[in-house]
Amino acid sequence: MNSGYVLVTGASTGIGHACASALADKGFHVFAGVRREADGERIRKEIAGKVEPVMLDVTNPEHIVAAKQHITEVAGEKGLRGLVNNAGIAVAAPLEFVPMADFELQMNVNVNGLLAVTQAFLPLLRVASGRICLISSTNGFFAPPFMGPYSASKFAVEALGDSLRVELAPWNIRVSIVQPGAIQTPIWEKSKASNEAMLNRMPAECHALYGRAMDVMRREAQKMANRAVPAGRVADCVVHAITAAKPKTRYLCGGGARTEWLVARWMPDSLRDRIIRMVIGI
Ligand SMILES: NC(=O)c1ccc[n+]([C@@H]2O[C@H](COP(=O)([O-])OP(=O)(O)OC[C@H]3O[C@@H](n4cnc5c(N)ncnc54)[C@H](OP(=O)(O)O)[C@@H]3O)[C@@H](O)[C@H]2O)c1
């Protein structure tokens, strides 16, 4: 059994919930980041073991300060054994028309928030020679059309992970990047709803220029969602990254991840573009 403290951001549902549950199951005291009191109450009931919800919107500096203060008081000299930077949203739209406010929100949650939380908790992680997990995506190395905002955020997460890994090596703070493919979580439905609302606000020109291709991409996304695997697959990787003597620098997991990696790594860009254009008919 493990002991010690870990923080998981975005633990209300999906991968964060599965990670909080798996880490509590391994004996950790899990601080589970949520944005609503009701979610905190719910996960207390749903997850067995030591799970303590903390109010943490990663874009809210006051939340970060308060969470840091509370966790420092509780964890004390033991420090933080793990930080799982999981909170995320997915903005999908043609880059020509994506409203800058939506693009900024995408980057604020997935990138700026992740870095702000990491900065805040590094002193506590240093005390425990803790581990950091960044939940990236296959979109961290493969950027399909209309997924530009989300992919840009995940490419940035990959860059932060590579830099942090070497910067933090002197203190034996290991950094792992987790690259899930398609995982069964509410993100598919949540982003479908928010992206449709965003597209409804866009000019007719956007729909005239990109509408048909976006319809095809939506159908392709639905096919991916149908092939998605349970979030426990990602949680297994996160548990390994936090507990193994030799954590991996990167974990590929879930629906289609390996195929996407092989395509990104070995297929020439021009061939990949031709295939994507053929599929979406542009
Ligand atoms: N599902 C997939 O196929 C897949 C694949 C690759 C990577 N990922 C990545 O996995 C991570 C988790 O996503 P998921 O699939 O588990 O989706 P999810 O069920 O929608 O979970 C996202 C979590 O992030 C939280 N969140 C959103 N905005 C936040 C903010 N400003 N501050 C703090 N928390 C915030 C959500 O909280 P609320 O409930 O309060 O909104 C929720 O707890 C994301 O980084 C995502 O990009 C997912």
pLDDT, tens digit, 9 for 90 and up, residues 85-130: 999 999 999 999 999 999 999 999 999 999 999 999 999 999 999 9
Q: Specify the ligand 1 atom closest to the Cα of 182.
A: 3
Q: Specify the ligand 1 atom closest to the Cα of 59.
A: 31
Question: 177 forms bridges with which residues in the sheet?
Answer: 134, 250
For this structure, is 5 an active site residue?
A: no
Q: Is the CB of 57 under 6 A from ligand 1?
A: yes
* pLDDT value at residue 11: 98
Catalytic residue among 5, 150, 210, 251: 150
What domains does the chain contain, in order, with CATH numbers?
5-280 (3.40.50.720)
Judge contact between 125 and 71, C-beta under 8 A. Answer: no
Judge contact between 214 and 146, C-beta under 8 A. Answer: yes
Q: Is the CB of 59 under 6 A from ligand 1?
A: yes
What residue's CA is closest to ligand 1, atom 44? 88
**Calpha distance 209→231 (Å, rounded):** 36
CB atoms within 10 A of CB 5: 23
Give pLDDT tens digits for 6-53: 999 999 999 999 999 999 999 999 999 999 999 999 999 999 999 999
Q: What is the pTM of this model?
A: 0.98
Distance 282 CA to ligand 1 centre (A): 31
Say how many residues make up the chain.
Answer: 282
Give pLDDT tens digits for 271-280: 999 999 999 9
* pLDDT value at residue 254: 87
Q: Is the CB of 88 under 6 A from ligand 1?
A: yes
Q: Specify the ligand 1 atom closest to the Cα of 191.
A: 20
CA max distance for the chain:
60
Distance 90 CA to ligand 1 centre (A): 8
Query: For residue 48, which amino acid is it?
Result: A
**Calpha distance 177→25 (Å, rounded):** 22
**Calpha distance 259→172 (Å, rounded):** 32
Residue by residue, DSSP assigns 83-137 as EEE---------TTT--HHHHHHHHIIIIIHHHHHHHHHHHHHHHTT-EEEEE--
* pLDDT value at residue 2: 72
Q: Is the CB of 179 under 6 A from ligand 1?
A: no
Tokens at residue 85, please? 């930077």
